[in-house]
Every structure is written in C-alpha cells, then in structure tokens.
Amino acid sequence: MRHLAVKLSSLAIAVAIGLYPWAARGAGAGSVEKQLEIAAESGPRILLESLTKILAATPSLAATPEAAAMLARAAAAPVPDFVGANLPIYLEISSIITAAAPPAQRDAVHQAVSRELTRFVATDIRIMPPLQPDTIGNAPRQSPEVGGPGFTLGSFTVYPELQAGLFYDNNIYDTRTGKVADKVGSISPRIALKSNWARNALYAEAGSDLTGYLTKGRENTADWHTLIEGRIDLGNSTRILLGASALMEHEDRASPDAVEGLTPTPYWEQNGYAGVVRRFGDFSVRAGAAVERMTFGNVEAAHGPIDNQDRDRNRYTFGLSVRDESQPGLRPFIEALGDLRRYNHSPDDFGYERNSDGYRVSMGALFRISPALSGEASLGLMQRNYADPRFKTILTPAADADIRWQAAENTAAVLFLDRSIEETTLSGSSAYIYTLTGGRVEQTLSPDLAGFVRAAFAHSQFQQSSRWDNEADISVGVRYYLTSLLYIGADYRYTQRVSGDSTMNFSRHQAYLMLGAAF
C-alpha cells in the first residue's frame, strides 16, 4: 500500500444513467438496498448495525448463496465513501452475513459472499489504486481476498493471506533494445487484524513481497509494508480518522527517475495522517493533515556509486472539504488542499532548488444514480511554485474520478481518472504533469471462476523540457477457486512506453501464474 495520506474526498459533478437487475427481484430487495444506503450516510458503524437488524428481521436474505450474494452486493455498494475503513468493512459484511446463514448452507453462503465482496475489493481504487509511474513495470499486483472467516483473538479477528507465483518477463530492464528475459518467483505473505468493537474501529496490516530472479540475482527484491488505521465514532455525527504506515519498496526500472544502477533503487516511505468528519445538519465538514517522508538508497553503477540522497524529501498536506448531504444520490462539495514539499539537500546534485509550495482546489460531487452506478469525480485547479527562480510556476487543471458500474449481476466495472504534479530528477525540469485514465472489468464466469480485464493509459508531460512519455498497461487474467480458501490464477500483462526521448522507449510482456490462500 502506497501513498496513504488522507484523501479528503475529491469529487465532482457527474451525470449518468444506470440500470440494475433489482426490478426483476421484487420490491423487497430494493427496499433493503435503500435501507442500507440510508444507513451508510451516518457512517460504517450504522451501516453494519442496519445490516444486522435486516438479517434478524428477514433471515431468508442469507438462506441461500444467491440471496446472500445479492445482500452482500447491496451492503458493499455504499462502502467506498468510508475513507480509511474500506477493507475492514468488507470483511465485517462477510462475517455478519455468513453468521446469519443456516448451518447447512453456511459454507456455500460464505463462498458466494466472499466472491461478491472480492470483486468489490478489486474495483475499489482506495484499496487497489491506479498504478503510479514508478510501478508500471512491476509484477502484477494482486488485490486482497475476502476469503476465510479469520481467527478470533479476544475482540479482534486475524486474517492471514499468502500468495506465491511464477512469472516470465521478456524485458526485465525495460530497455528499447538488447532485451533481457528471465523467469521470476515471488511470495507475498500478509496478515491483517481487525477489531470487533461495537463502536470505534482499529485495523492493522503487515506484509511483504519477496521476488527472486532465476539468472539475474541482482534484481532480487524484498519489499515490505505495515500500516495501522483507527476510527473513533463520537456519536452518529462525528468520526475521527487516524493512521500511520511504513514501507520499503524498490523503484521499478520503468520509472522516469530510475537510475542505471546495478541493482534496483530501494526507497523507504513513512506516512501519518489525522482527520475529522463532522455532520452539521445537511452538511458534512472534513478536515485533515498528513505527512509523508521518503528516503532513497544509494546504488552501485558500472562507473561507481550513485548518490540518491538529494532525492530525500518530506511532504506535508492539509485540507478542508464541505459537502452537501441533503440528497444522497448527488452530494456536491468543494475542497481545498495545501501541499508543501521539502528536500533534505537543496540544491540537488545538479544545482536545482526543488523545494516547492502548492495547492489544489476542486468542486464536484459524490453520486449514486442507481444501485448499479455510483462514484466520485472532481474538477479544479492545481498550482506549484518553486524555490529555484529558473523553474516556472505550474498552473494546470486538476481532475480525479472513479466510477463503479454494476453492468450485470456477474459483471462489475470501474473507470478512473487521476491528474497530478509529480516530482522528477530530470535536469532542467521542475516536475511532470501526470494524467492517468483507465478501467477494470471483473466478470464472474462460474461460481468458482472469475476473470478480469484491465487497461490504463498515462501521459507524463515534463515541464520546461521536450520530453514526454505515453505509457500503456494492459492485462487480462482469471482466478479459479479450488475451495473457499484456496485459489489459482493466471495473468498476462503488456506494458509499453513511447517517449519524446526515444532512448526511453520500451515494451514488455509478462505471463504470471499464482497460487493463493486467504484464511
């Protein structure tokens, strides 16, 4: 998990029409969906309480796998607005519905609910965010599974998960010519802990990604991440969000700032955030702040060591948003975000002062046109001013959107858009404007088989430079569930860059085979 600073809901005006197969199911299903939608307006705790009451009043909603899957879909649809709490809420929905199922049907209900919620996880961009430019060439990242019921430890539940895979990469260095291929093995253990309290919530997670190359051992990496998030419910109108994370990852060879080291460049990132959400009548106010610390390791090159310490930096963000909650289907808002970036060493090794101050202002809406179509989007402006007088001020449109569409009972899709100003070490350039668009479609092919197609397209426009990059990332895959806890998967992924600097062009094919278990 990367860049876990507070996201103070960047949303914008959207108009769309969606259809959903509730009508063929009868009025009762629609009534349940509406109850859950209304409950979600008061936060995750009220949503879960409402789900429990609905099942107590109508046990038949969890009596069969088909009915339970539809109920899980209705309960999961409002979840993406719960900043900092998405995955724990999906896990809790699974536990509540499974516990209400008849003993003889419990395993089948759990399997159906897990499949349904796993599809929500895979298309929730707060859990599976769009790829950043320094990860476009890495091994395919797999979304967490809503698998087994976990293990109860007092008032907590522990969820272990393990993924292992083999993949073939035909261009491990992301080069235009002289491509080098290799076979790669990976193993990714992960453990999550969730509180089971009636009020408030605590979620913690730790995991690692260990990668080994068959012949090019210098490319081996051992990444890890940890995070802890808390939610304090102060009545039905106020929630406090707290969180912190730490990770170590490596910079992919495809990164625009990748150096020609003999080994990948490691970096460390620490994040902390705090925020409050307060309801005032028909309006909710969100305020928060976050700090991000990034440090980069030095690496050896063919002609000596490469010093990356001039890339070490801190980022401070703070903001406020106000949203109109009077109409659940369309909730317009405005927000303002400040962003300060400070480097440890200034000037850098090329003599540039890269410290900068910036802001982002947006207006938009979170919308839920129908049970089938919901999302958020924003439009606005963002600006950066640099300490170095040679760097011009950047003022450009800002945009942010994700739209989820339940196209059919077994088909879910998400479309996303992200536009940001990213740091660079390119000599003479202050930054690059990064615009990413794409989508993912999840398709249930049978009760035990699911497939997906994903496509993302990115444009990087380097400021005060003739360089630009166009990148494509397209993948297709399937997962087959041997049991409710064990699954196998296969992915194919194609990535390509076409740049104004032709020496940076590359294309890459990867084929990936995976075995996973979620308990």
Supply the DSSP string of 123-186, one letter for each residue.
T-TTTSPPPPTTSTTSSPPPPPP--S--EEETTEEEEEEEEEEEEEES-TT--SSS---EEEEE
Question: What is the rounded end-to-end Cα distance, in angstroms, of the chain?
Answer: 20
Q: Domain holding 376: CATH number?
A: 2.40.160
13 residue type, one letter: I
Q: State how far the Cα of 347 lies from the Cα of 502, in Å rounded to an integer.
A: 29
- 150 in any annotated domain: yes
Within-domain flag for 74: no
What are the tens digits of pLDDT across the range 210-251?
999 999 999 999 999 999 999 898 877 888 999 999 999 998
Q: Report how far residue 97's alpha carbon sits from residue 69's, in angstroms, rounded to the nearest whole number.
A: 9
pLDDT at 133: 58
Question: What does the pLDDT read at residue 137?
Answer: 58
Q: Is the pLDDT of residue 392 over 50?
A: yes
Q: Give 104's DSSP letter.
A: G
- Do the domain assignments include residue 92? no
Rounded Cα distance, 327 and 9, in Å: 17
Q: At residue 281, what is the residue type?
A: G
What pLDDT, on the 0 to 100 scale, is given for residue 131? 65
Q: Tens digits of per-residue pLDDT, 93-145?
A: 998 999 999 999 998 898 889 888 888 887 777 777 666 655 655 666 677 77
Helix (H, G, I), strand (E, B) or coil at 177: coil
Query: 81 falls in which pLDDT band (50, 70, 90)?
Result: low
pLDDT tens readout for residues 11-66: 222 222 222 333 233 334 568 888 888 888 777 888 888 999 999 999 999 999 98
Within a domain: residue 218? yes
Cα–Cα distance for residue pair 219/87, rounded to 1 Å: 32
In a domain, 26, yes or no: no
User: Does this model's pTM top 0.75?
Assistant: yes
pLDDT at 339 over 80: yes
Band of pLDDT at residue 1, cut at 50, 70 and 90: very low
User: Is residue 123 in a domain?
Assistant: yes
Residue with tokens 């990034």: 294
- Highest mean pLDDT (candidates 23-32, 386-395, 444-453, 501-510): 386-395
* Number of domains comprising the chain: 1
How much is the average pLDDT of 365-374? Answer: 84
Q: What angle do CA 489, 142, 485 make, to 5 degrees?
A: 60
217 within domain boundaries: yes
Per the domain annotation, does 139 fall within a domain? Answer: yes
Give the model confidence (pLDDT) of 268-317 as tens digits: 999 999 999 998 989 999 999 999 999 999 988 888 888 889 899 999 99
d(CA 34, CA 229): 29
Residue 391 pLDDT more than 70? Answer: yes
Among the residue ranges 81-85, 430-434, 497-501, the one predicted with the least confidence is 81-85
Residue 501 makes CB contacts below 8 A (sequence gap 6+) with: 466, 467
pLDDT for the residue 134: 59
* Residue ranges making up the domain that contains 457: 117-518
